[in-house]
Structure 1
Amino acid sequence: MLHRTALCIGINQYQHFPSATLSGCVNDAQDMASLLKDLLGFEDSDITRLSDQAATKANIMRELKRMVEGALAGRYDHLVFTFSGHGTQVPDLNLDEFDRADEAFCPHDLAPSGPQWDRDHLIVDDELHDLFVQLPSTVILEVLLDTCHSGAGLRAADLLMDRRPRYLPPPSVEAFRDIEYRHARPAHQKLLEKGLSHHILWTACKQNQTAADAFLDGAWHGAFTYHFCREARASGNHLSRAKVLAKIRSDLGVAHFTQTPQLDCEAVTRHAVMRAEAVPANVTPLPTDMPT
């Protein structure tokens, strides 16, 4: 029997940046929590939800550390982490990126420190990697990121269609110039390196695209999360993740979204969407490098 725990984050409001308010992220967290209960049998007690004022860096990292520590102690063998909110980029300080840029996630208490973001109020992809890499191979981690880390993919049509990019630029011209010509590897690629290749990571768009906060079916949602939940429910847990990805991409294309969701995993794509069992060693998983 699987021992599960999940953390669902949705941030519409940013303490120091009221002009950066989004509309669909809290709905995303609720939608993902409902999907985990209805499709995977999670209980309410298995799921922690943090939204807006509660979704500070300290609270998010505390919950993630709780999950990892519980997995290391043998209490959990299936972890799910979903994040809907703004993304950004920061200069690479530990020089592990050839292009000297890191991707980052914006908690509610995001704040500047001089010309740059305050690292005490920002979640850099290195922090997530260093935390998750502790997980043993017997524990499945599934991460869904409905955010973006570049503003380059915004199209004029998006502004006419009740759509907003989930991206916050650096807080100053100086900070922007620090990363202007640098293109960080997507966070999900970094999370798959050095010991994390057996986990599952979904992202809402390519590195050079924006993830949309969109008005769909009478309410605001992340375009990726909305279609992910819809296709997961429609599949009844009978389609592989690769096939669900293909359906989501098709849905977004039909709706004239410009984002292309990405899926990275090696060990579990043969099994139905969001199911946590690992593929036996002698089974070759289905490919996940879907056409883009």
Structure 2
Amino acid sequence: MSKNALCIGINDYPGTQNDLSGCVNDAHDWSSALTSRGFSTRMLLDADASKSGMVAAIGDIIGNASRNDSVVITYSGHGTWIPDESGEEPDGRDEGLCPWDIEQGEVLLDDELHVLLGKRAPGVRVVIIADSCHSGSVTRGDNSDLDPGMPRARFLPPQVWMSSDRLPSRMPTKILGGIARSGGDLLIAGCLDTQYSWDTRFNGRPNGAFTYYALKALANLPPGSSYASWYRRITPTWLPTSQLPQNPQIFGSTTARGWKVFE
């Protein structure tokens, strides 16, 4: 059995005036946590995380996995959407991840991700951890770690990168679906599909709020704990808060939620 991880972090979004600050740190932090748990880890950062680079790297890690192997893919960067032209989305949108070259129209859609992950061999475990977003609000949790003046949403409106002739005349008002149906066994996401994930700073160091608190919870998790137990340590203990109005989510079967974390 092999354990392999791909950690993607994108701060630099050329041409959009919407750069982020904590995503590369997120990727390094996830890589460190996974490496310490026996994973062979590859990172894609900024320009290396173009759409073609992401598609190739995801294809490689999925294509090289065999029965009983574990694959973890983490993504920190902007999320976005495009108008749904197939009529299959109840909210009128196809959601997607924003590669480094999003300004050139290179979006990685949920449908495309589903196809990539669907190419795995039988018996391969796939866990996806997504620290990107949509929008919303709630108040609970603890803001004490958060630096003043933070945070910033990890959402890139389609108006920023999409030509005006492709935008719908009437903008949908609610986002549903997200990447929850991406094709992995388990998805742990930084927020509801109706919320933003926040890019912020802790003790002077930029991070995604979800990544920071997920790893903080992981550091104190008893050995052999399940993904469900880890999730319950993140929320509502740490998120959401008044300044970080995001509700982390976990999607997957009861069996997958009961797997031991990063094993």
| TM-score, normalised with respect to structure 2 | 0.86
Evaluate the alpha carbon distance shift between residue 176 and residue 23 of structure 1 in structure 2; reply closer, same or farther with a 3 A threshold. farther
**What one-letter code is carried by the residue in structure 2 that aligns with 1:231?**
A
Give distance in 2, aligned partners of 1:247 and 1:98.
32
Identity %: 31
SS at match of 2:47: helix
Q: Secondary structure at the match of 1:252?
A: coil
Q: Does residue 250 of structure 2 align to residue 252 of structure 1? A: no
- Higher percent of residues as helix: 1
Structure-2 separation of matches of 1:75 and 1:244: 25
Q: Does 1:35 align with 2:33?
A: yes
CA contact (8 A) 1:170 1:176 kept: no
SS in 1 for 2:158: coil
1:165 corresponds, among 148, 153, 166, to 153
Structure 1 residues not aligned, in runs of 5+:
113-117, 276-292
Q: Look up the match of 2:88.
A: 96
**For the residues of structure 1 that align with 2:151 and 2:45, how far apart are their CA atoms?**
21
1:23-62 pair list within 5 angstroms: 23-38=21-36, 40-42=37-39, 46-62=40-56
Unpaired runs of at least 5, structure 2: none
Structure of higher RCO (CA pairs closer than 8 Å, 6+ residues apart) = 2
Aligned structure 1 segments of 4 or more residues deviating by more than 6 angstroms: 157-160
Distance 1:177 1:70, change over 3 A: same
Which runs of structure 2 are paired with 1:175-214 in the superposition (5 Å)? 175=167, 177=169, 179-188=171-180, 190-192=181-183, 196=184, 199-214=185-200
State the distance in 2 between where 1:178 and 1:139 align. Answer: 42
Which of 90, 98, 101 is the matching residue for 1:106? Answer: 98
> Could you tell me how far apart the structure 2 residues matched to 1:212 and 1:24 are?
9
- Residue type at the aligned position of 1:33: S
1:187 deviates by 1.1
Within 5 A, what are the aligned runs for 1:118-157? 118=105, 121-148=106-133, 150-153=134-137
- Rounded to whole Å, the distance in 2 between the matches of 1:154 and 1:14 is 29
- For residue 79 of structure 1, what is the aligned residue in structure 2? 71
**Structure-2 residue corresponding to 1:8:** 7
Is the contact made by 2:138 and 2:240 (CA closer than 8 Å) also made in structure 1? no
